[in-house]
Chain A
Amino acid sequence: MTQRNVLEAINNALDEEMSRDPNVMVLGLDVGKLGGVFRATSGLLEKHGAQRVVDTPLAEASIIGASLGLAISGMVPVAEIQFLGFTAQAFHQIGPQLARYRTRSRGRFHCQVTIRAPFGGGISSPEFHSDAVEAQFVQSPGIKVVMPSNPYDAKGLLIEAIRDPDPVLYCEPDRIYRLARMEVPDGAYTIPFGKAAVIREGADVTLVAWSAAVELCLLAAGRLADDGISVTVVDLRTLVPFDVETVVSAVARTGRCVVVHEAPLSGGFGAEIAATLASEAFYDLDAPIARVAAYDVPYPAAPLEAWYLPSVERVVAAARKTARQ
């Protein structure tokens, strides 16, 4: 019985995969001696050496571009972009290059590359450090988008990502890195992509979320239970692939749905979920689908983020309103 938090689970997954496969390597800013700004790669340099744990120059595009080339050479790179918001400095190497290389080469080459990127608000970080831009990558077919919400999933999904022959963007919820420990076994295990988890079952409203917003939904579910509203919580785990079946069947049982995400409302992945439910679960719906998201404004300075981000109160309010309709 080993208890780990999200950060320790990620560190453990990296260590185990590097121990299993000598071609797995980690590269990025400050991943070596410092062990990453959050210490996710702590101890890896000492154990696996400077050839496989590499502090790169401060240039995100070359971190991703070089990872593509490393993968073609036979290495298995796990690249860290220090914060997801800084993928803007590398976007042209992710969507148009990494994601498309299998297609462009008509299957001759593929890119077994994992990009790890912490993100999310609520930790009073500077500009660009909190932006939830995951939906931008959903529009780049060829890359998978993975959003773990707890320590157990963090390890299993990361090992799955490293072993996946295709590129994976693995977004880490930095706000809950150290929030709580749970049992995360030693030894490798994987969680398949495209399988959402129903982590709480109730009869009245289905809450759909991913990453740190799942924790918000669980807190809201507790409060709603006090009001006599019983809630199902679906943790999507991956946006690409998107597990339509689990979401549709959960919503079919409750007839009501609230989607919760930290990304801005318009064009967020919640819109995709709502549109999918409207076409696949229309006759099971007893109320309009609600969305609780960040507002359509640039991520604000730290003193304002509590008003910008979805809160337990907003989730509770949306679920109550949906339940009354």
Chain B
Amino acid sequence: MKAMTARQSILKPDGRLLNGAKSSMTDAALMEAVRWMLMSRIYDERATALQRQGLYGVFSPAAGQEASVVGSAMALDPARDWIVPQYRELIALVRHGYPLERLAAMGMGRITHATRIPEGVNVLPTQVALAAQLPHAVGLAWGLKLQKKDSVVMAYVGDGGSSEGDFHEALNLAGVRQAPVVFVLQNNQWAISTPRRMQSATSSFALRAAGYVTYRMSFHNTTDNPSLYEDPKQRDEASRRDPIDRVIKHLTRRGLWNDERDEQTRMSIRAEIDAALDKAASFPAVTPGQLFDDIYAELPERLRRQREELLGEGSKE
């Protein structure tokens, strides 16, 4: 298993390439990337605002981490590769083919068959038990390899999740089975309020897995208040290194971006998100009987009776 150990930063805060640095991305890929990054940031703002109005569930923004999420996801071919997410990679799932309106509808509590991952979209469900998704990713990659499929699995985890036993068990098994899986460890410096220095004595998470140095520029999720533990200077420094600003400044210097283009891009993204949110709001609402859906292929007798009891059907008395 290979791990990148050097810090792979090439853009200065002013958008200039570091001395001697070269971008391996084509201009077209860069333009695509910046649009996905902006979409992620704008969706963060919209979802957070909706959550504050009581219209959206708990939400975990990706602000500050867009470059690592988008950059890694763009290495994949949605037709054959798989994404095994944690829960802060929404835009990677959208790029991979999970329609934004379905994700938005789930955020709005409309969690039914209409919001599930469509057939043919190679994405696993988001994972709340941190690092539990990593052994799944290894098994998936191992199985695809056994069936001689030309696929790669990309699995996401954070600096906090890398302390879990599942992280170490998964990396160990992936190495033993030579499974075609890429672990993306997003070290955003925080596990809710626990700083990176209290998470691990390792000098670099990159020694554990291919790492991306990044910074969570927002709260952990909409229930969190970072002012209780975060030094404002850290946020200011992170903002100075905002990945989206840096890429846009870089593109501007190269004549590929200007105010008009910026405005047009943001307008088209807002229109796309508005359309997705509109559709999401009209997704079917949950129904109580659905509690008993998708537990087993066939509902056992005992559960069938419990379902009848809930719905007041077929009383035995």
Question: Complex: how many Å from CA A264 to CA B163?
Answer: 34
Q: Among A65, A75, A107, A242, find the residue whose CB has the most chain B CB atoms closer than 10 A.
A: A65
The answer on a CB contact under 8 Å between B294 and A106 is: yes
Task: Collect the chain A residues with CB atoms within 8 Å of residue B140's CB.
Answer: 69-70, 72-73
Q: Which residue of A lies closest to B113 (CB)?
A: A106
Task: Collect the chain A residues with CB atoms within 8 Å of residue B294's CB.
Answer: 102-103, 105-107
Give chain B interface residues in 72-126, CB to chain A under 8 Å: 84, 111-113, 115-117, 119, 124-125
Q: Give the interface segment out of A53-61, A115-123, A294-302.
A: A53-61
Task: Collect the chain B residues with CB atoms within 8 Å of residue A245's CB.
Answer: 301
The answer on a CB contact under 8 Å between A97 and B139 is: no
Chain A interface residue count, CB cutoff 8 Å, equals 48
Which of A70, A92, A106 contacts B143, CB < 8 Å?
A70
Asked if A288 CB lies within 8 Å of chain B CBs, one says: no
Task: Collect the chain A residues with CB atoms within 8 Å of residue B172's CB.
Answer: 57, 59, 62
Asked if B129 CB lies within 8 Å of chain A CBs, one says: yes
Question: Complex: how many Å from CA A67 to CA B113?
Answer: 25
Q: Which residue of B lies closest to A100 (CB)?
A: B295
Asked if A286 CB lies within 8 Å of chain B CBs, one says: no
**A181-198 vs B: 1/0 string, CB under 8 Å?**
000000000000010000
**B180-212 vs A: 1/0 string, CB under 8 Å?**
000000000000000000000000000000000
B165 to nearest A CB, angstroms? Answer: 6
Task: Collect the chain B residues with CB atoms within 8 Å of residue A222's CB.
Answer: none
Asked if B147 CB lies within 8 Å of chain A CBs, one says: yes
The answer on a CB contact under 8 Å between A62 and B169 is: yes
Taking A62-B170, A62-B173, A105-B116 as contacts, is the C-beta distance between A97 and B132 under 8 angstroms? yes
Question: Complex: how many Å from CA A73 to CA B153?
Answer: 11
Taking A106-B113, A241-B302 as contacts, is the C-beta distance between A69 and B142 under 8 angstroms? yes
B132 to nearest A CB, angstroms? Answer: 6
Asked if B144 CB lies within 8 Å of chain A CBs, one says: yes
Task: Collect the chain B residues with CB atoms within 8 Å of residue A68's CB.
Answer: 135-136, 139
Asked if A267 CB lies within 8 Å of chain B CBs, one says: no
Which of B116, B138, B166, B302 contacts A108, CB < 8 Å?
B116
The answer on a CB contact under 8 Å between A105 and B143 is: no
The answer on a CB contact under 8 Å between B125 and A104 is: yes
Give chain B interface residues in 282-299, CB to chain A under 8 Å: 293-297
Task: Collect the chain B residues with CB atoms within 8 Å of residue A242's CB.
Answer: 300, 302
The answer on a CB contact under 8 Å between B117 and A62 is: no
Q: Which residue of B lies closest to A107 (CB)?
A: B294
Asked if B141 CB lies within 8 Å of chain A CBs, one says: yes
The answer on a CB contact under 8 Å between B139 and A67 is: yes
The answer on a CB contact under 8 Å between B136 and A74 is: no
Asked if A325 CB lies within 8 Å of chain B CBs, one says: no
Task: Collect the chain B residues with CB atoms within 8 Å of residue A71's CB.
Answer: 139, 143
The answer on a CB contact under 8 Å between B295 and A93 is: no
Task: Collect the chain A residues with CB atoms within 8 Å of residue B295's CB.
Answer: 102-103, 141-142
Asked if A240 CB lies within 8 Å of chain B CBs, one says: yes
Task: Collect the chain B residues with CB atoms within 8 Å of residue A54's CB.
Answer: 177
Question: Complex: how many Å from CA A71 to CA B144?
Answer: 10
The answer on a CB contact under 8 Å between B135 and A69 is: yes
The answer on a CB contact under 8 Å between B147 and A73 is: yes
Asked if B277 CB lies within 8 Å of chain A CBs, one says: no
The answer on a CB contact under 8 Å between B138 and A62 is: yes
**B139-158 vs A: 1/0 string, CB under 8 Å?**
11111101101000000000
B124 to nearest A CB, angstroms? Answer: 7
The answer on a CB contact under 8 Å between A194 and B116 is: no
Task: Collect the chain B residues with CB atoms within 8 Å of residue A108's CB.
Answer: 116-117, 119, 125
Question: Complex: how many Å from CA A69 to CA B295?
Answer: 18
A selection of 10 A-B contacts at a CB cut-off of 8 Å is A25-B146, A59-B172, A61-B169, A66-B136, A73-B142, A92-B166, A103-B294, A107-B293, A108-B125, A242-B302
* B binding-site residues for A, Cβ under 8 Å: 84, 111-113, 115-117, 119, 124-125, 129, 132, 134-144, 146-147, 149, 165-166, 169-170, 172-173, 176-177, 293-297, 300-302
Given pairs A69-B139, A142-B296, 10 additional interface contacts (CB within 8 A): A62-B135, A69-B84, A69-B136, A69-B142, A70-B139, A73-B144, A73-B149, A77-B139, A106-B112, A106-B293
3 shortest A-B CB distances, which residue pairs? A65-B135, A69-B139, A73-B143
